[in-house]
A and B are shown apart, each in its own frame.
Chain A
Amino acid sequence: MLRQIIAIVKKDLKQAKRDPKFLGPSLIIPFAFLLVYTIMWTSVGGGESFTCGLVVQDTSPQANEFADILENMRSTTNHTWFDIERYDIATADELYQHTELIAYILIPKGFGDNITTGQNATAIIYINNANDDIVKNYAHRLEAAVLLFNQGAVYPSFDQSKARIAINESFSLPSTPSNLQYMAAVAIVLSFMACSLTSQSMLTASEFETNAIQDTMNSPIPRLALVLGRTLAAIPRSFSALLISAPIICLTMNVFPVGNLFVLVGILLLTALALAPVGELIGMRLRNREQALLASVLFVVVGFILGGGMAPIGLSPQIVQNLASILPTTHALSLWARVFFDDTLLGLTSSAFVLVLTWIVMSIIVFKLMKKEVERS
């Protein structure tokens, strides 16, 4: 039986070598995502591109203290805050009216006097409210400055120990990955998933196109050997794109895994096992290599977005979370993102179990369907 398994593995790998088109999407999709995200986060409205004007009309110590908070406050995470640039009121207003300045904060005359006399001092923010996301990003930051001032947590120490209510924050990861680091990490697993799925779907579609599937299924090879052989062949094939994409992504984005490498490889292994029968199902249904390629790409992209590749599924409505939890891509992403940035084994069991279960159930389903197809033909 071992010989038969080896023969099937060799046959599948040779076939993949003859038609390496599956490598295309495995490399293009993650790099396209990374390119789009790099543009999005660094240039188009990402956290790093916000700027805000500041007009200080008051010369009191309180106004200076408030301006100092605005200009120097840093988040407790390493998230970049918007740049503050000082303007006179005429320039700021002109830039703002011409939408060249998205927002500016005005500390008006009498700000310090109001505080001294026990009245409320009001800072005013002028916002180009093109959508509620822009308003959110500016209003939140000004609100944080207001709270810091009222807590007495002023520049340079921002010490909250004397505040009536301080905020103690703790985080799930030892350090917060930047948006680009996160995208780079998930782009690696995206490349792997794309490779795993497209290679299997194209292989199966190609066997249907050439009628080789009849020979395979009608051969005297035991069914178990056939399943094991096809599964084993899917593993090295899935890793092939990673040999190119992983080093490039890690080196260019300067992102390296924090978690245990063996655990990460184990996660990829489970992902390949779970996705290979899904690919087989796609190939079997479409029976055309190009259509199988397109369908696999669509499946991976949808699975990636739904499964938390761009934002964790915990943010989605419950019904979407339930739907996404059926997909193996969701569990692969969840395991990968957790272990990539943290050396932990906590909270991995349920997702790992789902991936193994997907592999077993889907393999049985696909194999039965394939047998039926051959019998029918």
Chain B
Amino acid sequence: MNQSLRTIKACFIKELRVCKRTPQKIVLVLLLPLMFFTGFGMLMGGVYYGEGVATALVVEEQNPGIYTDGLIEILGQYDDIPPRLNPIPMDAETADRLFMNGEILLVITIPDGFEDAITNNLTTSINIQVANIHEDLTKNLRMPVIRKVDQFYQKYFLNDSLVDFAMENLRAFTPPRLAYMAWTIAVYGIMFSAMFIAGSTVTQEFEQKTLDEIALAGRSPYAIYLGKMLSSILVSYLAPPILFLLGYLLFGVWPMGDVFVFLALTLPLAIFSAGIGIIAGAIFRNAVFIVPVAALGSIFYWITGGGIAPLELVGVGFDTVNEYFPISNVYRSLIRMFVEGSYSSLFIDFGVICICAAILMIVSPIATDRITQMDFTRKISEIKNRRNSG
């Protein structure tokens, strides 16, 4: 084994030991993607998961019969398509108070005379109060009611239901939105961890003032920084298994595809992210600042790369921009594999990310070594002095 390889190995082992000694780093690596997933889970809990949207149901009808009971039954029925409604019967006064306080976001009122009007072929209506906090929420609250009324029409007004609709899905299985997010957040976790750990291995040298020791060690700086990168790549794989498992436990689905393809695509992504991480570490020189940089950078790519919705939904502008960002290639192929089990763009996407990873693997250690030799504080004060004397 030549000296460079020995240095890489030694540095790799040393950084793993440092990680083991500083459990805060490992906690952050595990916690941030989990927090992110939990946050989205809570955020969309009522819409995509659980009992459904708590809905105040006010029945003012004094003589309920087949139609009133039928509508109440349909409103409470389980629906394959989210958001589900969770009707809670209450009087009008309580419903109004809860709605005003923002504790209930949707109130459905079946007025008195509803039964009589339908029985006698007259027109009637139901009243809904919607918390129109913003458009998306308003849509998610009112559309299920429209769906339920349509279902009521299809069941009870056969003569009026001239049209219905059928759905043909492209795939045999529709993944739940939150399971889809667990899978894409796993990719986010790899990016974030690789960037953060690699960055912090460099910042710790600044914080512990050990940069001079690196210079005096007589080892290749390239090998040292490469060792740091490789250790962060290994640590970056800690969060994904937990997220996949959570997705399975909560929603009963595993992503489709092959674990080797997953590794083949995410490994160069981790190298790429670690390359960016060590450069960021050399620039920011503070472990605390690396966290938001890595977290925000990864979130940005998680969203634009298809973490929330597949790339097909991306507007034309972003579609074009994404063509030039290697991370989007990884997301595209992984999402296709997770959801469809297909590999239609695998070769091109794998090729692009491998080229980028190889470039950063060569360039990042050299760039980091150069940047660490620069004294930013002195440069800034020189600029200030020059401006003042000018």
On whether the beta carbons of B43 and A182 are closer than 8 Å, the reply is: no
Stretch at the interface among B142-150, B222-230, B238-246: B142-150
Residue in B closest to A312 when the chains form the complex, CB atoms = B133
Asked if B45 and A315 sit within 8 Å, CB to CB, the answer is yes
Asked whether, in the complex, the Cβ of B170 is within 8 Å of the Cβ of A166, the reply is no
Cβ of B39 and Cβ of A302 under 8 Å apart?
yes
Assess whether A210 is interfacial by the CB under 8 Å rule: no
Q: Which residues of B contact A176 (CB under 8 A)?
A: 132, 134-135, 138
**CB closest residue in chain A, given B321:** A43
The residue in A35, A120, A133, A143 that gathers the most chain B C-beta atoms within 10 A of its C-beta is: A133
* Interface: B81 (CB within 8 A): yes
A3 within 8 A of B: no
Beta-carbon nearest neighbor of B292 in chain A: A297
**Binary contact track A100-144/B, C-beta < 8 Å → 1, others 0:** 101000000000000100001111111111111111100111111
Query: B104's closest neighbor in chain A, by CB?
Result: A314
Q: How far is the CA of A140 from the CA of B307 in the complex (A)?
A: 23
Contact pattern, A 298-330, Cβ under 8 Å of B = 1, otherwise 0:
000010011000111011110010000000000
Contacts of A71 in B (CB 8 A): none
Q: Is B315 located at the chain interface by the 8 A CB criterion?
A: yes
Q: Do B35 and A167 have beta carbons less than 8 Å apart?
A: no
Which of chain A's residues have a CB closer than 8 A to the CB of B313?
A: 44-45, 49-50, 102, 134
Docked Cα-Cα span, A125 to B169, in Å, equals 8
Q: Contact check, B135 vs A172: say whether CB atoms are below 8 A apart.
A: no
Check if B163 sits within 8 Å of A122, measured CB to CB: yes
Residues 144-159 (chain B) with a chain A CB within 8 angstroms: 144-147, 149-150, 152-153, 157
Residue of A43, A141, A168 touching B126 (CB-CB under 8 A)? A168
**By the criterion CB–CB under 8 Å, are B139 and A77 in contact?**
yes
Q: Is A357 among interface residues, defined by CB-CB distance under 8 A?
A: no
- Stretch in B12-20, B117-125, B371-379 touching the partner: B117-125
A129 CA to B131 CA in the complex, in Å? 29
Which of B99, B171, B300 is A129 in contact with, Cβ under 8 Å? B171
Counting residue pairs across A and B whose Cβ atoms lie within 8 Å, the total is 319
B175 at the A interface (CB under 8 A): yes
Return chain B residues, CB-CB under 8 Å to A44: 303-304, 306, 308-309, 313-315, 318
Q: For residue A162, which residues in chain B have a CB less than 8 angstroms away from its CB?
A: 123
How far does the alpha carbon of A212 sit from the alpha carbon of B170 in the complex, in Å? 67
Query: In the complex the two chains form, is B180's CB within 8 Å of A147's CB?
Result: no
B323 part of interface (Cβ distance < 8 Å) = no
Verify if A155 is at the interface (C-beta below 8 Å from B).
no
Question: Does B25 make an interface contact (CB < 8 A)?
Answer: no
Contact of B142 among A46, A62, A128, A169 (CB under 8 A): A169
Does residue B220 face the partner (Cβ distance < 8 Å to A)?
no
CB proximity to A under 8 Å, residues B269-312? 286-289, 291-292, 296, 299-300, 303-304, 306, 308-310, 312
B288 pairs with A293, CB closer than 8 A: yes
- A191 CB–B CB distance under 8 Å: no
Given contacts A132-B82, A147-B146, A169-B130, contact A179 B100 (CB under 8 A): no
Q: Which residues of B contact A39 (CB under 8 A)?
A: 303-304, 318
The winner among B162, B169, B175, B292 for most chain A CB atoms within 10 A is B162
CB contact list, B177-235 vs A, under 8 A: 177, 179-180
Within the complex, the shortest CB–CB distance from A29 to chain B, in Å, comes to 8
Q: Let me know if A130 and B175 touch, CB within 8 A.
A: yes
Closest to A106 in B: B168
| In the assembled complex, B164 has its CB within 8 A of some CB on chain A | yes
Which of B45, B83, B129 contacts A317 (CB under 8 A)?
B45
* B126, chain A: closest CB distance, angstroms: 6
Max chain A Cβ within 10 angstroms of own Cβ: one of B166, B170, B318: B170
Chain B residues within 8 Å of A163, by CB: 123, 125
A133–chain B nearest beta-carbon distance, Å: 4
Q: How far in angstroms is the closest Cβ of chain A from B96?
A: 11
How far is B118's CA from A165's CA once the two chains are assembled, in angstroms?
Answer: 8
CB atoms of A173 and B133 under 8 A apart? yes
Chain B nearest Cβ from A169, distance in angstroms: 5
Closest chain-B Cβ to A83's Cβ sits at a distance in Å of: 12
Which of B48-56, B352-360, B382-390 is found at the contact surface with chain A? Answer: B48-56
Q: Is B164 in contact with A135, judged by CB distance below 8 angstroms?
A: no
Choice from A43, A97, A100, A121 contacting B163 with Cβ under 8 Å? A121
Residues of B within 8 A of A142 (CB): 165
CB neighbors of B among A156-172 (8 A): 160-172
Question: What is the bound-complex CA distance between A99 and B133, given in angstroms?
Answer: 33
A144 (CB) vs chain B CBs: closest residue = B146
B127 at the interface (CB under 8 A from A): yes
Q: Mark A32-49, 1 if CB is under 8 A from B, else 0.
A: 100110011111111101
Q: Which residues of B contact A45 (CB under 8 A)?
A: 308-310, 313-314
Closest Cβ–Cβ distance, residue A153 to chain B (whole Å): 12
Q: Which residue of B lies closest to A294 (CB)?
A: B288
In the assembled complex, the Cα of A346 lies from the Cα of B103 at a distance in Å of 14
Contacts A130-B180, A132-B175, A177-B135; A144 near B143 (Cβ below 8 A): yes
B130 lies within 8 A of A172 (CB)? yes
Q: How far is the CB of A152 from chain B (nearest CB, A)?
A: 8
- Given A45-B308, A142-B165, are A312 and B105 also a contact pair (CB < 8 Å)? yes
Given contacts A131-B176, A136-B81, are A164 and B123 in contact (CB under 8 A)?
yes
CB-based contact B35/A315 at 8 Å: no
Across the interface, which residues of A come within 8 angstroms of B45, CB to CB? 315-317, 320
With A42-B315, A135-B169 already in contact, 12 other A-B pairs whose C-beta atoms are closer than 8 Å: A78-B135, A131-B175, A136-B81, A142-B165, A150-B153, A150-B157, A167-B126, A183-B134, A302-B35, A312-B137, A314-B131, A315-B105
A-B contact pairs, 14 of them (CB 8 A): A39-B303, A45-B309, A49-B314, A75-B142, A79-B135, A124-B165, A144-B150, A147-B153, A150-B153, A168-B127, A172-B99, A172-B132, A179-B136, A315-B47
Q: Which 3 residue pairs of A and B lie closest in terms of their CB atoms, listed nearest first?
A: A45-B309, A315-B46, A182-B134
